[in-house]
Amino acid sequence: MIFNSLEFAIFLPIVFLLYWFVLNKNLKLQNLFIVIVSYIFYGWWDWRFLFLIAFSSLVDFFIGVQLSKTDTPKLRKLLMGISLSVNLGFLGFFKYFNFFIDSFASTFTFFGIPFSPTHLNILLPVGISFYTFQTLSYSIDVYRRQLEPTKDIIAFLAFVSFFPQLVAGPIERATHLLPQFNKKREFNYALSVDGLKQILWGLAKKIIIADNAAEFANLIFNNADQYPGSVKLIGAIFFSLQIYGDFSGYSDIAIGTSKLFGFDLMQNFAFPYFSRDIAEFWRRWHISLNTWFRDYLYIPLGGSRGGLSKKVRNTFIIFLVSGFWHGANWTFIVWGGLNALYFLPLLLAKKNRNNIGVVAEDRVFPNAQEVFQMLRTYLLVVLAWIFFRAESVPHAISFIDGIFSTSFFTFPSATYFAGQNLSIYTMVACIIVFFVIEWAGRRNIYAIQHFNLGHVTVKWSFYYSLIFCIFLFMGNEQDFIYFQF
């Protein structure tokens, strides 16, 4: 079941009404209800994978309980090892088995040794990378004695399977989300209205921007040989808009939906395309994953402490692992490595925390230096996204080679973009309006959170106009990109 589907439009109001008007007197029943509807939500794709998420949840729950009963270092390490083996074992098997088989085959072939591997027809469970990291955060925090393990198995199952963020995050920490299942929840009108506004903005990002940008990006990436360098660059820009609108839109819908049920999820995107350098971009993009890697991998490795070689090693490890997390393809690893190369000069020059606050925080417009910094950062990000989108590394290199060719100076006429749901002119107009709204709301959690629209008539006119635009500019429905991860 996906957020922008008719099924979810029916599912959500029914769950909301039962949750607040039938089960609101009993916290345990509310939590049990969350588990049941979350499993229905997840099983809508493939009910067979329900056993996987249930088994993974039960393993970490019982390991948490056992960790609370022992102070023996060896036993605690053994329990932590079991959790890591089970979770990472499932992730490795379902996501990376065929990748490693192919890589071994390529290595043998390179050395002249014939090797014909057998592939398994493995279906990747939706969201496995997300809920695996969420349950791992619980076990690690309990192991480190930073979190008291829960004895309430229903609350724990609800924490792992909470349907708004189950399949594509934000990847919540147990220390933040799990305690919320133990507190009585009262309906909060203001919070629910805030949630509905965030859902509306998320749907606009997904349906107007991401789905339409995807059509242009797919057209150009799938037929790259037919286009000059200028159009290829525009194709890469469209993909940058697709992935931002898609994933940040999903996050907004997830966070907004959680607010309807009285839960607070962490912010996952903070207007990353207004970043002034790469370090700032990575503090604003997919925040829940990047802070997960920071806390559970980068800092334990030593972080930015130590000598030059250690800093370089840790930087590459964090970005390469992040790339590998995204998918079993060398394109993601190259994407991660490229971002490490972007980031490293800032770290070594100790300039990686130069831009902490919001750009032009006390002004309406950025100054010339900020405009230059944002454009430079955005173009570097777009260049890296080409590896993320391409089918293979040679495809990406060929695409980039086409951009940096004399054909880059060919005028990108509208005929190159004909035949899509929206004309190129309408699409560009939508993008301009979108970024104007995002810029105006960049100090908030999401762009329209505290939009000062004055009179109530103007305010409601804006919301109804946004709904009208969602239906008017609705493109062909595209899957959420991060479901594949």
Q: Which residues are catalytic?
A: 326
- Maximum distance among all alpha carbons in the chain? 75
- Token pair belonging to 396: 């990406």
Q: CB under 8 Å to 136, separation ≥6 — which residues?
A: 60, 83, 84, 87, 88, 296
- Token pair belonging to 451: 């939009």
Q: At what angle do helices 27-43 and 50-67 cross, to 10 degrees?
A: 140
- Token pair belonging to 477: 């429905």
For residue 90, the surrounding DSSP H or E stretch is helix 73-91
- CA-based end-to-end distance of the chain: 16
Q: CB under 8 Å to 57, separation ≥6 — which residues?
A: 135, 156, 157, 160, 161
Q: How far apart are CA 11 and CA 159, in angstroms?
A: 20
Q: Considering only CA atoms, which of 211, 197, 220, 196 is closest in space to residue 241?
A: 211
If you count DSSP H runs as helices and E runs as strands, how many of each does the chain have, helices first?
A: 19, 0
For residue 460, the surrounding DSSP H or E stretch is helix 456-472
Q: Is 365 helix (H, G, I), strand (E, B) or coil?
A: coil
